[in-house]
Structure 1
């Protein structure tokens, strides 16, 4: 990959990782439209590191509170909300981990086509729009409960299908369960931390044992661009969410899906 390709793809990944518009739908476009080669394992590691750092630093206070409370819940049986939230996130991550472990090969072989991505981009975009209009949106994260957290976790597992959008489907499920837009987004972002960490760890192990040489400067560049774009995206998305709602992203998904269908045909 050239330097410009690294910058553009890392920028796309950082921006689309946390917006409900599907990063996979966007990353397929440069390769299909411009003939760019696959970004490769090193790039995947870089953007995972960058986006993970972005969400952890942005929510550093929440992460620190959860870690302390979670540790205290083991040692002193602490039952504060932060401890419960930490346990919810841990258990809600399990479905995606299992789905990724046992379904990865099938997904790679059968569900990464442009047609599948176009379909899931449109279908889950319509679902997001329906929930945004019809959902009650009157609960905060504390009212989600363990069962609700697990349902969001199951939705996150479905997001392994390209085009679905991890953030999109988890926010959709959160709002279906009555969460406000802001609460659904914040829980989605917190839930992304172990998911991105697991994927990044898996890819890093593969990279370490890869036979080819690693371009560490490209990894550093990709991670830096992904970090800045992801952090900026999270910040402004949360500011604008209650003002603009989800409909701009729904419309964007429908247009993107239609473009992908047109491109395939």
Structure 2
């Protein structure tokens, strides 16, 4: 890979993984629109590892607190709000994991087209706008119950369709359940940790079985750039989300979707 391709694709991944605009769609579209060769699964794994590093680093204190509460819940049979949220991250991951195992090959073959991305970008952008307008915006992520976790987890499973946006659909579900924008984003980001790990392990398994050559310079550079850009993105997104709302991202999704429809139709 050329250095400029590595830098831009890593920035794209880092800046879009946690924004409600679909990082997978951008990783598919950017090379196609610019006429670049496909970056390959190994690079996708590397930049996703970068975003994983970013979210773990940013929420390190929360993760430690939730992990200790989770351990205590099994030892002492107590269910504090922190323990419930930790179990909620696990429970919310199950639907996407099952759907991914069942439909991964179908999605890879049939649902990575620009038209599919255009349609999902527009539809789920409008749903995000509706949730932002209609949601009560009053609950904390610690108030979520088992039914809420399953609803948001089911929404995350839908995000396996390119263009949906994992963070976008889970934030949408959180807003519809009455979470504040920041609470919906925080739970969405925590929920991303196990799913990124599972996705990375699945693709890594495919790479090992395929025995493809590895460009370690491209992978390490992409991982570092994606990690730094994602960390910055998380920080500023959480800082402004309550004031800014979801409208700017909805507008971006609509413009992107319309552009793709025109491009495909033309």
Same fold (TM over 0.5): yes
CA distance in 2 between counterparts of 1:106 and 1:194 reads 22
Q: Partner residue of 2:257?
A: 257
Q: Is the 8 A contact 2:85 2:144 kept in 1?
A: no
Counterpart in 2 of 1:121? 121
- Tell me the residue number matched to 2:236: 236
Aligned runs of 1:89-238 on 2, under 5 Å? 89-238=89-238
C-alpha separation in 2, matches of 1:107 and 1:15: 24
Q: Is the 8 A contact 1:50 1:224 kept in 2?
A: yes
Deviations along 1:200-219, whole A, 9 cap, x unmatched?
Answer: 12222233333222111111
Any gaps of 5 or more consecutive residues in structure 1? none
Q: Distance in 2 between matches of 1:188 and 1:174?
A: 8
Structure 1 position 73 matched with structure 2 position 73 = yes
Q: Which residue matches 2:35?
A: 35
Say which SS state the counterpart of residue 104 (structure 1) adopts: helix
Contact in 2 for aligned 1:15/1:233 (Cα 8 Å): yes
CA distance in 2, matches of 1:162, 1:114: 9
For 1:209, what is the secondary structure of its paired residue?
helix
- Contact 2:175–2:184 (CA<8 Å) still a contact in 1? yes
Runs of 4+ residues over 4 Å off in structure 1: none
- RMSD over equivalenced CA pairs, Å: 1.1
CA shift digits 1:67-118 (9 cap, x unpaired) = 1111122222232211111111101100000000001111112111110000
CA shift digits 1:10-47 (9 cap, x unpaired): 11011100000111232233222221111112201211
Q: Which runs of 5+ in 2 are unaligned?
A: none
Of 196-205 and 119-128, the range deviating more from structure 2: 196-205
Q: Normalization by structure 2: what TM-score? A: 0.97
TM-score scaled by structure 1? 0.97
